[in-house]
Amino acid sequence: MNGEPIIRLRRLAKSYYRETLEIPVLQGIDLDIPAGGYYALMGPSGSGKTTLLNLIAGIDRPSAGELDVCGFALNGLDDDELAAWRSAYVGFIFQNYNLVPVLTAFENVELPLLLTPMGRRERRERVVEAMERVNLMDRMENYPRQLSGGQEQRVAVARAIVSNPELLVADEPTGALDAKNAEEIMALLEGLNRDLGKTIVMVTHDPKAAHHARHQIHLEKGVLDRTVEVNR
Amino acid sequence: MTVLYVILMPYLAWLTWAAIRYPVPLSYNWRSLWQRKVSTLSTAGAIGVVVAIFVVVLSLDQGLSRAFVSSGRGDQAIVIRPNSRVELSSTIERDKMRILKTSPLVAEDATGPLVSSECVVVRSLDKADGDGSSNVTVRGLEPPGIRMRDQVRLVQGRWMTPGLNEMLVPRRMQGRFTGLGLGQKQTFGGRTWEVVGIFDGGGSAFDSEIWVDVVTLMQAYKRTMFSSALVRLRGAAQVPGFAQMVDQDKRLKLEVRAEPDYYAEQTEAGQPIRILGNLITVILTVGAIFAAMNTMYASVASRTQEIGTLRALGFRQLEIMASFQWEALMLCALGGVAGVLLSLGFNGIQTGATNFQTFSDVSFAFLITPSLMAKGLAFSLFMGLAGGGLPAWRASHIPLTEAMKGG
Amino acid sequence: MKFLHLILRSFFRSKRRTVLTILSITVSVALIAILQSVLATLDGFANNPDASNRIVVRHKVSITNMLPMRYEDWIRQQPEVEAVMGLQWFQGVYIDRRNFFPNFASEAEYVTAIFKEEIVDYSDAQYRDFLRDRNGCIVGKALADKFGWKIGDVISLQSEIFPITVRLTVRCIFRSKRPADEMGLHFNYKLLEEGVFYMKGRTGNFFVRVRHPDDVPKLIERIDRHFRDAVEPTFSETENAFQLEFLKMMGNYTTIIQMITGAVLVAILIVTANTMAMAIRERTIEISVFRAMGFRTGQILLLLMGEGVLLSILGGVFGLGLAWAMAGAIRNVAGTFLPYLQNFTIDFGTMALCFQATLGVGVLSTFIPAYRATRRPIVDGLRSL
């Protein structure tokens, strides 16, 4: 783990508006996450942890404050630049896997590569590599409905890493899984962090899952409560 | 279409029975439709367009038929040369006309027998929209001829004077052709004719004719023979007798047609419209049924869970089917009402068509009758039945287990 | 294109919906193609390149007034004139009115000279037989085939305009470049003159063939000027203009057909937009995932609109195919009532036009829901379960 922060947040704030009523979700967040870090965002529902994750991942925009991720000031990017940035630097893992039902596992994983200038052959190599990583070589031609929940989530992990992004964001990745499958996914993420040096930011309310991270960030009513290093 | 309804009758009866006997509340369907406002409105809109086209095209035919049907009187007959079909291609010699006028079956008024010797020619007039010219019937008639056509009223100016180059013009023709204003002049048959009166033919075929004095017209055109005769008899019952009398008179060699029959045959001019209308209707109905089906399937799919709940509450398959069928009917009826209202905008607009029997123009109006509107609505309901049937069946046959699982 | 398979997969996501939508576009496009072809067919009559050096002379007052036959002599003396022929529309009925076909009383000796472009291929011996036989007639091959006529057959035509029925012997059968030109019948003018006393020395029209098309305007002007002060003044125009006059009689049908076409297009637009809105709405989350992964607005629009366009292309192609398959039946049915429609075909230009219109509808109908989907915040989309 080198000391250079890959994520740098300063006085970050986010509010939503219901009619004319302003609802603050995040206030004055200052946070540095070093490259190669593995952080779990925790807190009760409504504490703003998912919003913070969305801001870091560049799919939501802050109301105020600065936000540098992977060397880019996200505030300065327009929608298309932000999209290009996401495709280059961020891999997503969702609670409900969100695989495209009409595409095979292989094609689902290939999706992010379609945004790169890669040729068919190179794409295939990369997909196979990612599928090996999640240990689903024998399920490549299956459609999502032919897979179990755990397998679906592993395909989703492969999709997140296939374009080799520096940052992985995961929103309750084990939320829809049973204990055994959850454990498998967490081991997978841990490996990605350890072996490939991926920076991972994960929202979870499951203490067992959070225990796999190196650091736990606790949010309370939109402000940072405390950051805890996980002892193993 | 009537046949279709006869076939569907038992189904409709069952639907009604189902709605009364085991009511899944219809307001539930109504609210469900409203839930998917955009989808409902766009489907209803498409059906509305189809119904509107259907009604408007038929209203053309209706207007045309009205023009001809309202032209005839039951106790009057038209005398023409056999096989000539229309007055334009008929000829009657003067002495034959005299024989007709002295027939004892002919009705009389204070001025004499109600027989009008007439001469019909065609004249092309410039159209008001600048799009060239169109042929128009010019009818020369005798003074009784005007009185015998009760549906014709003078609305401006005066009747023409026999022997002068004066003409009467229907009000409805004025908007469609130029140079027909009161006091304006037209040249034909080598003479100049002045418009001295404007009449209203009450939507009859006479709304498409220019009237002049028959003697003057024949002089101008150097005709020695009349085209036809209009005869009023002592009663409608006398028409066959008169026809027989004319038929048996070796001197005449003429044909008698009851005036309503004569004009009814002219409605053939509407044939192209009818064919076009039928073609359009059949094709568009199919398209609209598919669209309605699509919407209903989507509606069923998004309510799998609701259906499960209804089943769990004890509603049976048939009732669920009826419920969705009613929803499809409502959806299409909504479109039907919209379509009929849309088509009403066309009611009364003047237009014209060419009667290929006479090569001349017929003025008439789009006529949207209540029965036509009812037809349009019935038509939309038919689409509801045909388009809603399969989705409703599907709704009633979703396995209960799947329905309870949801989504 | 690497996105193509994504579009195709999504396209068949809900097969039933896709099929139903395509079918409803198909029938609507078929209807539009047929209606537009009716108009195009009618227009073709007034834009016949074969008729470019023919003039039609008629009575100035109306088409139903007759001209003296002797006018022909003066016209024939004009230096630009190649041939002149008196011709009268006979409107004869063969057995039943439904068997309609155009038939004319023509000056037999000039028929082939005037209609050189239509009467292309015939046997000289047969043509001489036609000229020799006062009761003879010359018919097109397609017409003869339709009723099974052979040389020597006797047919009778009862006129709806004149008080006579003529009995004609088929003497000559000709071929044309286009089958539609083979649907006519000409018989000897003298037969009409003898049978109808008021037609003696009179005819409805003169068809004039000019040596060079450039001379047409000045000849028209000269003919009308010459007969201007005669008791029966003339009105001359090109054959195309003459046909156009008949077509204008149907002027209102044209407007109605155009209105219906417009309305049907609106209906397709609504139906397609509805389908695409449904397809896009049920994929809200998926679209957000795509966008989160880095798909840009333009790429998302491309994916979604590709689907709508595909829908309309397939509907359009099937619709045109259906219209094409129906063309023959329409020619037979409609041709009976509107003689002009005996030429009914769905030509390439009309197809292209209909196809473009359908494509336009596909683009337009998908753009609105697709654009809305790309404007929606990604976070909202991900949350909407």
Radius of gyration of chain B (CA): 29
Whether residue A6 has pLDDT greater than 70: yes
A84: closest chain C residue by CA: C294
Report the DSSP pairing between strands C202-203 and B185-188: unpaired
Which two tokens mark B261?
A: 């029959």
Does position C249 have pLDDT exceeding 70, yes or no?
no
Mean pLDDT rounded to a whole number for chain B: 84
Q: Which residue has the higher pLDDT, B168 or B265?
A: B168
Residues 254-273 of chain B whose Cβ lies under 8 A from any Cβ of chain C: 271-273
In the DSSP assignment, the letter for residue C268 is H
Output the pLDDT for position B321. 86
Q: How far apart are CA C281 and CA C294, in angstroms?
A: 20
Residue B93's pLDDT is what? 87
User: In the sheet that A199-203 helps form, which strands lie side by side, from edge to edge?
Assistant: A90-93, A167-171, A199-203, A38-42, A215-220, A223-229
pLDDT tens digits, residue range C114-126? 998 888 899 999 9
Q: Are C290 and A101 an interchain contact pair (Cβ–Cβ within 8 Å)?
A: no
- Is residue B212 pLDDT above 90, yes or no? yes
Which residue, among A87, A18, A28, has the nearest Cα to A62 in the 3D structure?
A: A28
- Specify the pLDDT at position C84: 94
More confident residue, B325 or B19: B325
- All chains having 3 or more CB pairs closer than 8 angstroms to chain C: A, B
Any idea what the CATH number is for the domain that residue A77 is in? 3.40.50.300
3-state secondary structure of B303: coil
- State the nearest Cα–Cα gap between B31 and chain C, in angstroms: 19
At B73, list the tokens.
């009187």
DSSP assignments along A184-206, one per residue: HHHHHHHHHHHHH--EEEEE---
C59–chain B nearest CA distance, Å = 11
List the single residue in C with minimal CA-CA distance to A85: C294
Among A59, A103, A162, the strongest candidate for a mutation testing the C interface, having the largest count of C CBs within 10 A, is: A59
* Cα separation, C335 vs B340, whole angstroms: 31
8 A C-beta contact, residue C166 and residue C187: yes
- Measure the CA–CA gap between A162 and A165, rounded to whole angstroms: 8
Kind plus residue range of the DSSP H or E element containing C238: strand C234-238
For residue B288, give the chain C residue with the closest CA.
C24
Domain contains A109: no
In a domain, A125, yes or no: no
For A91-105, A161-175, B119-133, B150-164, which range has the lowest pLDDT when averaged over its residues?
B119-133
Which chain C positions have a beta carbon within 8 Å of B53's beta carbon?
Answer: 260, 263-264
Q: Which residues pair with B350 in a beta bridge?
A: B365
Residue A110's pLDDT band (cuts 50, 70, 90): very high
Nearest chain C Cα to A88, which residue? Answer: C294
The DSSP output letter for B233 is: B
Which among A86, A98, A102 has CB closest to C294? A86
**Interchain proximity A60–C378, CB inside 8 Å:** yes
Shortest Cα distance, chain C CAs vs residue A231, angstroms: 33
The DSSP code sequence of C133-163 is -TTEEEEEHHHHHHHT--TT-EEEEEESSSS
Tell me the one-letter amino acid at C140.
G
pLDDT at B2: 67
Q: Is the pLDDT of residue A175 over 90?
A: no
pLDDT at C6: 87
Residue reference for tokens 């009537």: B2
Nearest to C31 among B38, B284, B290 (CB): B284
Pick from C286, C291, C294: CB nearest A100: C286
List the 169-208 stretch of B: residues with Cβ below 8 A of C: 188-190
Q: Which range has the worst mean pLDDT, A27-31, B1-5, B396-400, C83-87?
A: B1-5
Subunit contact B290:C253, Cβ cutoff 8 A: no
Q: Cβ–Cβ of A112/C377 closer than 8 Å?
A: no
Give B356's pLDDT tier (boundaries 50, 70, 90): low
Q: Give the torsion sign (CA, C283, C289, C290, C291).
A: positive
Provide the CB-side half-sphere exposure for B67 (13 A, CA): 31
Note whether B272 contacts C34, CB cutoff 8 Å.
Answer: no
Instruction: Tell me if A185 is assigned to some domain.
Output: yes
* Residues of the domain holding A31: 5-98+166-229
Q: How confident is the model at residue C385 (pLDDT cuts 50, 70, 90)?
A: very low
Q: Do B49 and C231 touch (CB under 8 A)?
A: no
Q: Can you tell me the distance from the alpha carbon of B381 to that of B373, in angstroms, rounded to the nearest whole number?
A: 13
Q: Chains touching chain A at 3 or more Cβ pairs under 8 angstroms? A: C
For chain C, the domains span 4-46+251-383, 54-211
At residue B407 the predicted structure's pLDDT band, cuts being 50, 70 and 90, is very low
Cα(C254)–Cα(C35) distance, integer angstroms:
9
Chains B and C touch (3+ CB pairs under 8 A): yes
Is the minimum CB–CB distance between B283 and chain C shorter than 8 Å? yes
Parallel/antiparallel/unpaired status of strands B191-200 and B185-188: antiparallel
Interface of C with A (CB under 8 A): 2-3, 5-6, 9-10, 12-13, 285-286, 289-299, 377-379, 382, 385
Question: Do C20 and B290 lie within an 8 Å CB cutoff?
Answer: yes
- Residue B208, phi-psi category: left (phi > 0), alpha (psi -120 to 50), beta (remainder): alpha
Whole-number percent of chain B with pLDDT over 90: 14
d(CA C342, CA C322): 19
pLDDT band at B137 (very low <50, low <70, confident <90, very high): confident
Of the pLDDT bands very low, low, confident and very high (cuts 50, 70, 90), residue A1 is very low
Mean pLDDT of chain C: 86
> What pLDDT does C365 receive?
87
Rounded to whole angstroms, the Cα distance separating C135 from C145 reads 21
What is the ipTM score, two decimals?
Answer: 0.91
Q: Would you call C28 and B275 a contact, using CB atoms and an 8 Å cutoff?
A: no
Q: pLDDT tier at C321 (50, 70, 90 boundaries)? A: very high
Q: Please give the structure tokens belonging to residue B199.
A: 């009449």
Number of domains in chain A: 1
**Among the partner residues C65, C161, C263, nearest to B49 by beta-carbon distance:** C263
* CB within 8 Å: B60 and C256: yes
- Mean of pLDDT values over C258-271: 86
pLDDT at B395: 87
Question: Can you give the pLDDT at residue C338?
Answer: 63
pLDDT above 50: residue B299: yes
List the single range of A30-44, B251-265, C150-164 with lowest mean pLDDT. B251-265
For B152-185, how does the pLDDT look when each residue is reduced to its tens digit (9 = 90+)? 999 999 998 888 999 999 988 888 888 888 899 9
pLDDT of residue B235: 85
Identify the burial level of A66 via C-beta atoms within 10 angstroms of its C-beta, where 0-12 means exposed, 13-18 middle and 19 or more buried. middle
Interval B57-80 mean pLDDT: 82
3-state secondary structure B261-289: HHHHHHHHHHHHHHHHHHHHHHHHHHHHH
* Percent of chain C clearing pLDDT 70 (strictly above): 95
Which among B131, B275, B283 is the nearest to C333, CB-wise?
B275
pLDDT for position B319: 82
The pLDDT, as a whole number, for residue A159 is 94
Where is pLDDT greater, at A14 or B251? A14
DSSP B120: E
Task: Give CA angle at B32 (B27, B35), nearest 5°.
Answer: 130
Please, which pLDDT band fits residue B406 given cuts at 50, 70 and 90? very low
Indicate the residue of C5, C289, C297 with minimum beta-carbon distance to A80: C297
Residue A226 has pLDDT above 80, yes or no: yes
Tokens linked to C50: 């074969």
pLDDT for C21 beyond 60: yes
Identify whether the C-beta of residue B268 lies closer than 8 Å to the C-beta of residue B143. Answer: no
Sort out which chain B residues have CB atoms less than 8 A from C64's CB and list them: 88, 121-122, 135, 359
Q: Domain for residue A174, yes or no? A: yes
Question: How many CB pairs lie under 8 A apart between chains B and C?
Answer: 153
Q: Which of B64, B290, B299, B300 to probe the C interface (max C CBs under 10 A)? A: B290
Please tell me the distance from the alpha carbon of residue A128 to that of residue A120, in angstroms, as a whole number.
Answer: 12
Residues of C in contact with A51 (CB under 8 A): 379
For residue A85, tell me if it sits in a domain: yes
Candidates C285, C297, C377; nearest CB to A98: C285
Cβ distance C245 to B291 less than 8 Å, yes or no, reads: no
Give me the pLDDT at residue C1, please: 64
